Amino acid sequence: MLNSFFVLKTLVPLYIIALIILIIIWFRKRWFCNYLCPVGLILGKVPQSKFKISGFSLLNVPDINMWLLIISLAGALIGLPLFILLDPISIFNGFFLFIYHPLQPYMIVLGIVFPLIILMQFLLPDLWCERLCPLGGLQIFITRLKSYFLRNSPGEEKFDLGRRIFIGGAFGMLAAFVIPKVTDLNNGLEIRPPGAIDKFNTLCIRCGSCIRVCPTQILKPDQRAGFGLLTPVVKFNGSYCLESCNACGIVCPSGSISTFKIEEKKLLKMGQIEVNEDTCLLMKLRECGICKPACTYKAIDIVEFRRNSLQMLPVVQHSGCTGCGACIAVCPENCFRIGPVIRQT
């Protein structure tokens, strides 16, 4: 929620759940870790190894998770939450995506992270939850902040938290400013769900919620290498984005897909449709035209290719076209192609 709020500078309806959890954490230390986090619940069942690593003690390990938390939130203020993919929910989801797509090379990287965390728990108990997980770091930070406010002399802890915020915040902001200058985080070539924001790749937590609720199953995890790995992309597979559906916007917890009403969907452009004249049956003087009635947004007209010509051609009115893919789904010759448009901010 905090990463999303700092990036978007606005509120998302599902934030209310996160706010409730934050309030509970203020009164119940690490409540989310103990009762809701799927990674934490599983790690709690992992037995400890009989072989002790010499010299290892959690007391000797710095609070790396708090540094990750501060750096990520500071970067989010500039538009790039650097460690959003270390969210345990993302890690948990990535493991199961690997199970369903085991032959994809980039899925292997995602698939081994969670087993490595389990192995870490076996060999080095509580290292992930207590010292590495940034979501755990947030809860520790809240506990220490509460301790500071409730005691009379803040002393050394106040200075320590202030120093971390200053150093980590400066590093996070600098990295969030520099990284987009040297690498393309959103190359603009993907077709995204309706309502996807401009900073989609940097804010999407890869939870897979939109993919699971899509009724026509046109949303798939992006399996190409790059910063957009595992983000949902549109793959028209004989179906299209229903004009009566807004499920992806409802379930998105991060705000990377904005919440929208059904009547607003006609204003959300997923892509721009183009027609390949060489393959269209109408251009070959054959009976067709199925694309026009298929377009519920009435964005396709059938017109003469040339004046006084028997050849006809479907023409897309881009002002009314949302890129829903209905024409792509029904065209027998695959003469419709979709390209990207500038996404909503």
Rounded to 5°, angle at Cα 282 from 279 and 286: 105
- Going 88 to 89 to 90 to 91, the CA torsion angle's sign is positive
Answer yes or no: do 122 and 235 share one domain: no
Answer yes or no: do 144 and 242 share one domain: no
Answer yes or no: do 287 and 248 share one domain: yes
Residue 238 — φ and ψ, nearest 5°? 95, 0
Q: Specify the number of domains making up the chain.
A: 2
Cα–Cα distance between 91 and 96 in angstroms, integer?
Answer: 9
Asked whether residue 159 is assigned to any structural domain, the reply reads yes
Answer yes or no: do 234 and 140 share one domain: no
Asked whether residue 191 is assigned to any structural domain, the reply reads no
40-47 mean pLDDT: 91
Cα–Cα distance between 161 and 24 in angstroms, integer?
Answer: 22
Answer yes or no: do 213 and 288 share one domain: yes
Residue 123 · residue 140 · CB < 8 Å: no
Answer yes or no: do 126 and 235 share one domain: no
DSSP sequence for 109-150: HHHHHHHHHHHHHHHSTTHIIIII-HHHHHHHHHHHHHHHHH
**CATH number for position 286:** 3.30.70.20
Rounded to 5°, angle at Cα 223 from 332 and 120: 155
Give the list of residues 6+ apart from residue 240 with CB closer than 8 angstroms, or none.
216, 218, 324, 325, 326, 328, 329
56-77 mean pLDDT: 88
According to DSSP, residue 60 is labeled G
Q: Is pLDDT at 122 greater than 80 in this prediction?
A: yes
62-77 mean pLDDT: 90
Answer yes or no: do 250 and 290 share one domain: yes
Asked whether residue 119 is assigned to any structural domain, the reply reads yes
Asked whether residue 263 is assigned to any structural domain, the reply reads yes
Asked whether residue 23 is assigned to any structural domain, the reply reads yes
Answer yes or no: do 82 and 121 share one domain: yes
Asked whether residue 208 is assigned to any structural domain, the reply reads yes
Cα–Cα distance between 32 and 328 in angstroms, integer?
Answer: 45
Rounded to 5°, angle at Cα 327 from 326 and 331: 125
Residue 248, number of CB atoms within 10 A of its CB = 26
Asked whether residue 77 is assigned to any structural domain, the reply reads yes
308-314 mean pLDDT: 80
| Buried b or exposed e, range 187-214, using 16+ CB within 10 angstroms | eeebbbbbbbbebbbbbbbbbbbbbeeb
Q: Is pLDDT at 193 greater than 90 in this prediction?
A: yes
Last residue of a domain, one of 148, 182, 216: 182
pLDDT in tens, 127-169: 999 999 999 989 988 888 887 777 644 444 454 667 778 888 8
Structural domain range at position 333: 200-339
Answer yes or no: do 139 and 210 share one domain: no
Torsion of CA 144, 149, 155, 160, to 10 degrees: 40
Residue 34 — φ and ψ, nearest 5°? -80, -25
Confidence class for position 106, pLDDT limits 50, 70, 90: low
Answer yes or no: do 47 and 122 share one domain: yes
pLDDT in tens, 160-185: 667 778 888 898 899 888 887 777 67
Residue 93 — φ and ψ, nearest 5°? -65, -40
Asked whether residue 189 is assigned to any structural domain, the reply reads no
Strands (E), the chain: 219-221, 232-234, 272-275, 300-304, 312-316, 336-339
Residue 248 · residue 210 · CB < 8 Å: yes
Q: Is pLDDT at 41 greater than 50 in this prediction?
A: yes
Kind of pairing between the strands at 272-275 and 336-339: antiparallel
Answer yes or no: do 138 and 205 share one domain: no
pLDDT in tens, 222-266: 877 677 878 899 998 889 999 999 999 998 888 889 889 999 999
Answer yes or no: do 245 and 164 share one domain: no
Residue corresponding to tokens 């969670």: 114
Partner residues linked to 233 by β-bridges: 220
Look at residue 214 in the predicted model and tell me its pLDDT. Answer: 94
